[in-house]
Structure 1
Amino acid sequence: MNFWYVPWFILPYLLLAFILVKQHKKSNRSNLFFKFIYWSFFYLFIYLGITEIQDKSYFFTIPVLFFVLFSWMYHREKARVLNGFLLNLFIASFGIYLLYNFLITQDVLVFALIFLVGVFVVLVGLFGFVGLMILFYWNALVVIKRESHSLANLLTLILAVVMTIWLIYDSFIAKMLPDWASILLSILPMMFFYFVFAFLNFLSASLLYQFNQPSYDQDFIIVLGAGLVQGTKVSPLLANRIHKAIDFYYQQRKYTRHWVKFIMSGGQGPDEKTAEAIAMKDYALQQGIPEDDILIETNSTTTLENMQYSKEIIDRADIKAPKVIFSSNNYHIFRAGIFARMAQLKAEGIGAKTAFYYLPNAFLREFIAIIAMKRKLHFTIISLLASVLLLLSIIAHFVS
């Protein structure tokens, strides 16, 4: 397509995007965000399809099919790691398709998209493996200064050390080993890259979940508990969860006047003097929430139990098709959504902000917990890959 035609596609797109924003001024930002994204890709695929069809080619259908598959799976169930894999698969196929489209059409808009993607890839390449390793060391130092020295807070340090060992091995030791030993020891980097691949899928799905905000017609807001300070006081982390729920409570009253009740969910830990739910209720009362709008659940000790016992309270309310959301920290809502599905509770999460320096450790901890939930599957896959490398190592030993 000639350059002269590009404005005729861009101007209607901008006009309709402006209309979309104006029509959804009072909608949740996330709903507007997803509608804007879908509209953008729909319009872009129309443009790319027209440019390609003029050259009697139809490869644009491949990324379109991946996008449709991702959208279908995402709207069926938002809290799935599979969504991250499908999103990454679509992005990869779309990037390859853009290169193909530009080769056959020489389109200026496609070139601009490739240029933007290329700049991002170059920046990532410059930062690279060593840069990421340095970032993890820096983050570990910050966390050690500000948080307790528990294993959960040292994950970035452990990962940085593992990356350092692998870098030394790959740069020096691997070159001195015989072929069979090199193949055998490649099991370790293979495991590392397998978990990197799994983490990218988890991270994509988890970040995507952050953009989801439920509509303002909820019946219940479950606030997930967390450890209390000195066994009685709400911690800053837990306070953020409560405030996120309170913000939604007032927003819903403002826009729809649909009444919603809190379910403060959290039992009493061995080092706590009172149940977390009771401390959370007292905190919410101090923030001006009416006592009649607060229910408590004091039996749970895990996130899964939070969902199970809260569901029992919701079921007793005898509301037909109740609409439910839950509030937790942003790094935790994806896994909490998985537990909600396991408890057969149809609920979506809203995430409270977390200190930026804390997020790398938090997401790594969530990833480890996700892996542990499917440990048999991951163990089987790694065992199969390791068996192949072991077989190749034996063959290389006898051949040499």
Structure 2
Amino acid sequence: MPLILISCVFLFTGAVILLKERRSFLGGMILTFGGLSLSITLVLLGMEKISELSDSVSLVVLLIVYGFFPLLFFGICGYFIYNTRMMNTKEGRSATAKLSALLGINLTISVPAFIYLVVMGGNKIPYWLGAILIFILLCDLLFSFFFVCYLFYSWMYQMIPFTKKIDYIIVLGSGIRSEDVPPLLRSRLDKAIEYYHKNPEAKIVVSGGQGADEPVSEAFAMRKYLLSQNIPDEKILLEDQSTTTFENMTFSKNVILQDWQKKNHEPSIIFSTNNYHVLRGGLYARKAGLKAQGVGAPTALYFLPTALIREYIALLVLYKWFSIGIVLFSLFVIVISYLPI
């Protein structure tokens, strides 16, 4: 019962924060943390009650807990490891392509090690070493659990439909190798075109500068593609100075404010990016003071695990206080668990 109450408090607190500002990273993580914790608690309590019905039912529950759940867990870890091989085959070898394998290997080791230390480790290793290992593994597992929370928050953020009339559509740039847009960037442009056809009075802001290894600016390549798709030139606004997502939002905001003629009310703005990037884009939009909702273009399934892990790491760096809070909470748990009071 206490766990249910605590989970409900987290769930309610997160909901209140998000009702006030749906682009709140803290609110989203609190809401999903409470929701997942409540779901897990209810499932465990339900299985406990069901197992009390009869010996045969109890046996089924044991098979699920000690058979199906571990099999599912190691299956997911195996998929993460295999995904790196798919990434290397389709996208070429890179450091980021190894992220999914690192996550899979990490979970395969850390979860069994944590369970072993909590259940058996106290009598097998020195007291101080057990405390250090538990602290490290607890930090690891909390960061992993909040990655799952991030996945749910990212999905929830994109589920709210945008039905208002749109005045501007910002397309966030990504890397290019020629004047032709690559598939990833093309999907963002196609999503923008989809919304443009529903809002023919809207203007499209193509946002992206020229990197050191890029022949032209991303905005130039995007404008060229839009023209090839019969989007009128006067409907395209260029922002070709940005090099980061935050600059995309900041500089695009300036371009829109200079173009906007109806000063009696604010323009309605959306931004188009890939689905895995929508949440971080929305958080950067908020940071830039831009009131804009994101829409996500589909991404190849093999690319999603690595992309989502990379996005999560970027958010942990952006919200350093959140990462520090996880570490301090883990330290607090170790102190009250291992030190005599």
Q: Work out whether the TM-score is over 0.5.
A: yes
Give yes or no for the alignment of 1:247 onto 2:191. no
* Alpha-carbon separation, structure 1, partners of 2:5 and 2:199: 41
For 1:184, give the aligned amino acid.
I
Q: Does 1:361 align with 2:309?
A: no
Aligned residue number for residue 225 of structure 2 = 283
Distance 2:167 2:82 in 1: 44
Extract unaligned runs of 5+ from structure 1.
1-59, 102-117, 254-258, 396-400
Per-residue displacement from partner, 1:219-265 (whole Å, max 9, x unpaired)?
Answer: 000000011124x2211000000000001111234xxxxx1000000
Q: Is 1:187 aligned to residue 135 of structure 2?
A: yes
- 2:155 is the counterpart of 1:212: no
Q: Does 1:299 align with 2:244?
A: no
- C-alpha contact 1:184 1:390 (8 A) present in aligned 2: no
Which position in structure 2 is the counterpart of 1:315? 257
Mark the structure with the bigger radius of gyration: 1
Q: Does 1:373 align with 2:311?
A: no
Q: How many residues align?
A: 313
Match of 1:350 in 2: 295
2:202 is matched with: 260
Instruction: State how far apart, in whole Å, the 1-side matches of 2:169 and 2:205 are.
Output: 6
| In structure 1, distance between residues paired with 2:217 and 2:323 | 36
> SS of the residue aligned with 1:234?
coil
8 Å Cα contact 1:137-1:160 kept in structure 2: yes
CA distance in 2, matches of 1:182, 1:228: 49
For 2:52, the equivalent position in structure 1 comes to: none
The 3-state SS of whatever aligns with 1:73 is helix
Query: 2:76 aligns to what?
Result: 132
The 3-state SS of whatever aligns with 2:273 is strand
1:249-285 per-residue CA deviation (whole Å, 9 max, x = no partner) reads 11234xxxxx100000000000011111011000000
CA displacement at 1:70 relative to structure 2: 4.8
State how far apart, in whole Å, the 1-side matches of 2:320 and 2:7 are.
31
Q: How does 1:160-171 map to 2 (within 5 A)?
A: 160-166=104-110, 169=113
Change over 3 Å in CA distance of 1:379–1:312 after alignment to 2: same
Q: TM-score, normalised by structure 1?
A: 0.69
Amino acid at match of 2:261: D
Distance 1:134 1:66, change over 3 A: closer
| Shift in CA distance, 100/191, structure 1 to aligned 2, threshold 3 Å | closer
Q: 1:238 aligns with which of 154, 172, 185?
A: 185
Q: Is the 8 A contact 1:216 1:251 kept in 2?
A: no
Partner Cα distance (1:73, 1:229) in 2: 42
Q: Relative to 1, partners in 2 of residues 1:143 and 1:384: Cα closer, same or farther, differing over 3 Å?
A: same
Gap change, CA 1:379 and 1:64, over 3 Å in 2: closer
* Distance (Å, rounded) in 1 between the aligned partners of 2:14 and 2:134: 33
Once residues 30 and 92 of structure 2 are traced to their aligned partners in structure 1, the CA distance between those partners, rounded to angstroms, is 34
Aligned residue identity for 1:309: F
Contact 2:169 2:272 in 1 (8 A): yes
CA distance in 1, matches of 2:330, 2:39: 29
Identity of aligned residues (%): 33
Aligned to 1:330: 275
Unmatched tracts of structure 2, length 5 or more = 47-60
- The answer as to whether partners of 1:267 and 1:299 remain within 8 angstroms in 2 is yes
